[in-house]
Structure 1
Amino acid sequence: MENHLKSKDAIFSALRGKLVVSCQASVGEPLCHKSHILALSLSALNGGCGGLRLEGIENIKYVREQVDKLYEGFVPIVGLTKADVPAQDRLSSAYITASFVEAQHLAEAGADIIALDATGRTRSDNLSLAETIAKIHAELGCLVWADCATFSEGLNAAQAGADIVSTTLFGYTAETALPKDVGPGLELLKELVSHLKVPVILEGRVWRPEELTEAFELGAHAVVVGSAITRPQLITERFVRAIPQPLAMPVQFRPVDNYVQHLDEIASSRCGT
């Protein structure tokens, strides 16, 4: 693949003051196919976002190739992998780009920035955060985006060499676990911005445009929005929860056998055929 990497200054400039849209889907969800991830990505770019956060090697490779063909100018891609960790273990296990090998695959697929777990939880290859960041810089030439949950983790990540610090995991670790309806970590953002020289990103639990506005007023370099834009089932759930009870109950559908296979067949066919 042609070298896609840009300088740190070019990437920082491309992201400054921008909305980054996270286009992801979990295995078994209707949108979990590279063609759908591409469609979400193109829709987000057409809406004016300044970058994409994507999960999965094949998704990133496919989106990178198509975006570079379809758009003039530089579209930064933040790449990550997610380990197959049971939901009940995610509070205590590192699952976002948990090894250097995964980072290597992301760079080869076309990611400009490697997002990784910077919470201090054990990485699958047992490398320290600082060791991982140093290898990514030296061997891959990519920037490192540190997904953090606390102020101390953000400080540690910056000291370890992370180029960007994000509030991504606020509310998603054992130490910071919060109900789903709690808003983004704006106080954490404010504290990190006041102490760090590297760009700080607000990410996680952003559902309202007003939260994005407040984040930029607090000094965020960029803001990432995912579920509120690209996860229709979660958006629908929020509306369903607003229906007065017991006047209405959610309809319960059961996926048919071979559900995932059927979704793949649908995804591989052309729209409208």
Structure 2
Amino acid sequence: MSKHDFIERIHHHLIVSCQALENEPLHGSETMAKMALAAKEGGAVAIRSNSPEDILAIKQKTQLPVIGLLKRVYPENEVYITPTKKEVDELLVVQPEVIALDATIRERPNQESLQDIVHYIHDNSNTLVMGDISDVRDAEYATEYGVDMLSTTLSGYTSYSPKQDDPDFELVKTLSQQATIPVIAEGRIQTPDQAKKMFELGAWSIVVGGAITRPQLITKSFSDKIK
């Protein structure tokens, strides 16, 4: 799938994040693939997924394009979403249409730079790069170094971005007006009305995760409300 085809495919459509870490009840590639198939049946046009194993299973089960990432923690470093070329190499084996990575201004492990990693992906594959950012400064930095699209995934998860319970509507609005590449709204989108509002503010596409694919969190939201 070409860059143009993918970007047009997701325009004003829903991407669903299907991820479950090792400590979560639904962890496992077979389960994530079934979750992704359910998302496809519900109208998702692409899937965001963590780990080569889950990506491969989801692609085989759904035939949907996948935004792939690999979460890995490095000692004394805050960057964990596809942090180094090592994770990129592992992802490229299963050929996701897009690789998502931390594109914040924070220092990366192994003294690697965002610019080097983005160029490495573009030079060694036809894979697009989604830059996960937390504020406008991150977005400018990521755009300068060649990411193909921006996602607001990390808003509220860096020390310098605002902490809030709701989605970062203001960031999406600002970036949609200023950015020269597509802006994907992601992070704390809990309801269809919030998703619709993101499109009204100018988002190219939206990613919804926990509100759809993490039943333990969905259950907790009900449980907490009725206590």
* Interval containing the TM-score (normalised by the shorter chain): over 0.9
Task: Give the gaps of 5 or more residues in structure 2.
Answer: none
Q: Within 5 A, what are the aligned runs for 1:139-150?
A: 139-150=124-135
Which among 46, 51, 74 is matched to residue 51 of structure 1?
Answer: 46
Distance 2:45 2:123 in 1: 27
Pairing 1:61-210 to 2, within 5 Å after superposition = 61-68=56-63, 75-84=64-73, 93-176=78-161, 178=163, 182-210=165-193
What RMSD over aligned residues (CA atoms) do the two structures have, in Å? 1.5
Structure number with greater Rg is 1
Alpha carbons of 1:153 and 1:121: their partners in 2 closer, same or farther (altered >3 Å)? same
TM-score by length of 2: 0.95
Q: What residue number does 2:4 align with?
A: 9
Deviation at 1:85, TM superposition (A): 6.1
Range that drifts further, 77-86 or 109-118: 77-86
Give 1:207's aligned amino acid.
Q
Distance 2:134 2:87 in 1: 21
In 2, Cα distance between equivalents of 1:151 and 1:184: 15
Q: How many residues align?
A: 227
- TM-score, normalised relative to structure 1: 0.80
Q: Secondary structure at the match of 1:235?
A: helix
The letter for the 2-side match of 1:14 is: R
SS at match of 2:93: helix
The CA deviation string for residues 39-71 of structure 1, in whole angstroms up to 9 with x for no partner, is 100000000111100001111112112223xxx
Deviation of the 1:176 alpha carbon: 2.1
Query: Does the CA-based 8 Å contact 1:98-1:125 persist in structure 2?
Result: no
* 1:109 aligned counterpart, secondary structure: coil
| Percent of residue pairs identical | 37
Instruction: Specify the code of the residue in structure 2 equivalent to 1:197.
Output: T
Q: Which residue of 1 aligns with 2:210?
A: 227
| Deviation >4 Å, runs of 4+ | none
Whether the aligned pair in 1 keeps the contact of 2:149 and 2:183 (CA below 8 Å) is: yes
Q: Distance in 2 between matches of 1:93 and 1:119?
A: 10
The answer to whether the aligner puts 1:29 opposite 2:24 as a matched pair is yes
* Residue identity in the other structure for 1:225: V
Give the CA deviation at 1:177.
5.5
Contact 2:73–2:79, Cα closer than 8 Å, also in 1: no
Equivalents in 2 of 1:76, 1:198: separation in Å?
19
Contact 1:14 1:76 in 2 (8 A): no
CA distance in 1 between counterparts of 2:160 and 2:102 reads 15
Please, which runs of 5 or more residues in structure 1 have no aligned partner? 1-5, 69-74, 245-273
